[in-house]
Amino acid sequence: MKAFTIKKTDRNLTGTIRLPSSKSISNRLLIIRALASAGLDIENLSEADDTLLLLDLLKKIRSHQGNTSMTELDTGNAGTAMRFLTAYLSMVPGKWILTGSERMKQRPIGILVDGLKSMGAQIDYLSKLGYPPVMIHGTSLKGRELIVDPGISSQFVSALIMIGPKIPGGLTLHLSGHAVSFPYVKMTIGLLKNCGIHVSQDRSRIFIPEGNYIPCAFSVESDWSAAAFWYEAAALADHVDLELLGLTSGSLQGDSVISEIFKAFNVETEFTAKGIRLTKSSQPLSGNKFTFNFSDHPDIAPAVITTCAMLGLNGLFTGLKNLQIKESDRLLALKTEYEKIGIITETYSTGNLIPAIEIKGSNFEPRPGLQFSTYGDHRMAMTFAPLALMNGEICIENPEVVTKSYPGFWNDFVSAGFEITEQDLQPAP
């Protein structure tokens, strides 16, 4: 097993980082382009593993479209590819098996499949009811009004929105209950509007009219979710002067809220012509308990919660329901790794059994031999990497998982002053 030893001889964070393009925007644009009858020119497409995988799968779909034999498509651990292609393939002539990694087969998809089948989609489960893999016979769908529970994944809603214009009569979605990650739904709607589809929506109803995507060019902005780990590093550093290129104040990405959240940790954000500049004030941190509901922003939860824990603050974090069905059970992963550094946590359920985690303030003391597992999860690796600022040296297992969303993360870490050496770890007996 590969591992990285990460060292930081001081607690300064300086430099200029070009963040990766947004994977979330890129993947949506690839599906829109596949659905469009005219060209969509995408500039600055993400080079993340998930995006490259989706790009290859869409090429394979085009070459096998209309075949009478079955075509198998493996989405690996890419949740957006699984959810978006389930909806897309329901309309594409052909016979398709859509599968994924063992972890993907544990991630629910039943709500999306039920909605598609109510419009005439021909989808069958090949193993466990409500979970991949699925077999899809592409056919014509009929427009109607659907009631969709968005409480598991916003990607179910986004997948339906993107195929909506290609359904005769369009599609009306009624959202029952609170939508998790709703900013990602708003992102999808914004991209449709940029491509000529005039979606109307409020928090509980979305109408997607029948229509054609218009030819246009779109340049993908940098990824605010990736910026969260640099904000974390800035909060843990003593001196900060860090420029992150490609971020904008008028972003389609809901995770841009990170710039407001980290004010509580004395990290200041200045928007520039090229992106943002992070600095840090020396004012004492507030002694009040830090609270935040992450139902709209689950991807930045690990970085924020870990920052709070390492700074010795009390924190209560709610809205963590879908953290348990990500690439790993992130709630369990955080709790397990925090135990290695003496951080006291308590997990429990709030209303409707939605999990929460509470951090009890404690003073972190550096300790030798600190080693973190990553659980095959890119965000776990990037969450724990900045802890080298406070511990001096740490070890990250399976560091290559970052390529799922941020292929250049470790190179950027070196350019910001961290020392990284590779080693082989022997498996536990």
Catalytic center residues: 299
Sheet holding 70-74, edge to edge: 70-74, 95-99, 134-137, 122-125
Nearest CA to 359 out of 342, 374, 372, 377 is that of: 342
Nearest CA to 326 out of 93, 139, 196, 152 is that of: 152
Ramachandran angles phi, psi of 337, nearest 5°: -75, -35
Pairing of strands 134-137, 122-125: antiparallel
Alpha-helix runs per DSSP H in 237-371: 258-261, 301-310, 330-340
16 beta partners = 243
Pairing of strands 134-137, 95-99: antiparallel
Report the C-alpha gap between 194 and 216 in whole angstroms.
8
- Looking at this protein, which amino acid is placed at residue 422? E
Residues 6+ apart with CB under 8 A from 314: 289, 290, 358, 359, 360, 361
Q: Which residue has the tokens 């989609």?
A: 121
Report the C-alpha gap between 222 and 425 in whole angstroms.
34
- Looking at this protein, which amino acid is placed at residue 332? L
Helices 301-310 and 224-236, packing angle to 10 deg: 0
The percent helix, strand, coil of the chain (3-state, each to 5) is 40, 25, 35
Pairing of strands 12-18, 239-245: parallel
Query: From the CA atom positions of the chain, what is the Rg in Å?
Result: 22
Nearest CA to 241 out of 11, 12, 6, 2 is that of: 12
CB 224 within 8 A of CB 208: no
